[in-house]
Amino acid sequence: MSKILVLNAGSSSVKFSVFNWDDLALWAAGIVELNGSSGASRMRITWPPEQSREEDLPFRGYQESVVAAFANLEGFGCWRSPGEVRVVAHRLIHGGETLRKPVVIDQQVKHIVRQFTPLAPLHIPAGLEALAAAEQAFPDGLQTGMFDTAFFADIPPAAFLYPVPYEWYERWGVRRFGYHGTSHAYAMERAAEMLGRSAAELRMITCHLGQGSSATAILGGKAVTNTMGFTPLEGFMMGTRSGTIDPGLITYVQRRAGLSADQVDEILHRKSGLLGVSGVSGDFRQVEESAASGNGRAQLALEMHAYRVRAMLGSLAVTMGGVDVLVFTGGIGENAARLRQDVCRGLECLGLRLDATANSRAVPDCDIAEKDSPGRILLVKSREDLLLAREGKSLAMQHRHKATASP
């Protein structure tokens, strides 16, 4: 049976899903955690209904470890031979203003993606390494890509331009791009389905909360702005990323401490956010545990996190003249009931009233708003993988049709 393999590559892990070609039913899913510092990696895989297995892998470098993981997946029965994998669908972070639609990945696409490495240094190198691993392991499989920035193609200039010299945009492409578009696109689609309405008639905010987090205002079924900007550093306070700060702070610290641009970049991307404030970890769960045990800085980090999300959701609602539905998704958004409660505290003025009991017991996909709340609050399981698989299959069908039609 033919399969579609979906890859979502991060700096230290690769999430994967395996789908049946015919009906896009999920065959298996899991994650490869790559730990170069310890010299070992770990792979977790789950088959419906919730049968799981874990496997230790030697760390041989990012690409080689991912190839080794593919070999293990074959050994577990995810496919009988590499030729069974007809499509490998990749989540790609950045396509700029050029790549706005799902694509078959070729050398030109890789060249364009590589140009944006300075804007997403945690993601793009990892994505290209995972792509190289997939090309090596599945030489006959079609490699397809869907871009996180593509969902934001319709954001108007007044929203995507920064109030800096216009030449910066003309010369260097300095503008807001927006990220997590694949997750926001699925959340929009699923929320409309749950409400039995068209996305085109809703004012919607989708809030993706994970190690990286962002929210999107969606009006008429199209994104009108996203909290992330030129890079995935802007917006919410995140696990190790600062989120939005006063740009004057950067030049002040550089002068005061004699830091280079690279040093500041490292601090803002990897040593800030929950980790920087709490001093504990960039993992939301560990910060929660530390706060529960009485760590004041950990508690402060959680309060700051919720405050910043709440404030930015209010700003997004104003851009649309109100909000009909707020959607929580992403690993933290789906599992952190206390955070959802803290974020929604104060959003009653927007017609969003959270049902505390429903929220505390919630399992995606569900409605957690009070019954008489003017706006709905939904909890949606992130299924970027399904969207990627669907688009990958569509591209493969088009590709095959073109090849057959060629003289």
Helix (H, G, I), strand (E, B) or coil at 249: helix
Whether 162 is in a domain gets the answer no
Which residues are bridge partners to 380 per DSSP? none
Answer yes or no: do 102 and 199 share one domain: no
Extended beta strands in 162-209, E state? 203-208
Give dist(CA 213, CA 204) in Å, integer: 17
Answer yes or no: do 185 and 141 share one domain: no
Answer yes or no: do 27 and 92 share one domain: yes
Q: What is the pLDDT of residues 264-292, one digit of tens each?
A: 999 999 999 999 999 999 999 999 999 99
Give dist(CA 156, CA 159) in Å, integer: 5
Q: The tokens 């999430």 sit on which residue?
A: 15
Q: What is the pLDDT of residues 291-321, one digit of tens each?
A: 999 999 999 999 999 999 999 999 999 999 9
Answer yes or no: do 259 and 312 share one domain: yes
Answer yes or no: do 82 and 192 share one domain: no
Whether 163 is in a domain gets the answer no
Domain boundaries, position 100: 3-147
DSSP 8-state assignment for residue 354 = B
Whether 277 is in a domain gets the answer yes
Task: Kindly report the CATH number assigned to the domain that includes residue 378.
Answer: 3.30.420.40
Whether 218 is in a domain gets the answer yes
Q: What is the pLDDT of residues 384-393, one digit of tens each?
A: 999 999 999 9
Answer yes or no: do 88 and 228 share one domain: no
Q: Calculate Rg over the CA atoms of the chain.
A: 21
Examine the fold and report which residue of 91, 121, 147 is the final residue of a domain before the chain moves on.
Answer: 147
Quote the number of domains for the chain.
2
Give dist(CA 108, CA 36) in Å, integer: 30
Whether 397 is in a domain gets the answer no
Sheet architecture: strand order including 203-208: 222-226, 214-219, 203-208, 325-329, 376-379, 366-367
Q: Stretch 110-124: mean pLDDT, rounded?
A: 90
CB atoms within 10 A of CB 58: 10
Q: Quote the pTM value.
A: 0.90
Examine the fold and report which residue of 125, 147, 169 is the final residue of a domain before the chain moves on.
Answer: 147
Whether 159 is in a domain gets the answer no
Name the active-site residue from 22, 56, 140, 148: 148
Is 148 catalytic? The answer is yes
CB atoms within 10 A of CB 289: 14
Q: Stretch 37-50: mean pLDDT, rounded?
A: 77
Answer yes or no: do 244 and 350 share one domain: yes
Whether 394 is in a domain gets the answer no
Whether 272 is in a domain gets the answer yes
| Burial class of residue 75 in the structure, from the number of CB atoms within 10 Å of its CB (0-12 exposed, 13-18 middle, 19+ buried) | exposed
List alpha helices for 11-163, DSSP H: 62-75, 107-115, 124-137, 157-160
Give the length of the chain: 407
Answer yes or no: do 212 and 80 share one domain: no
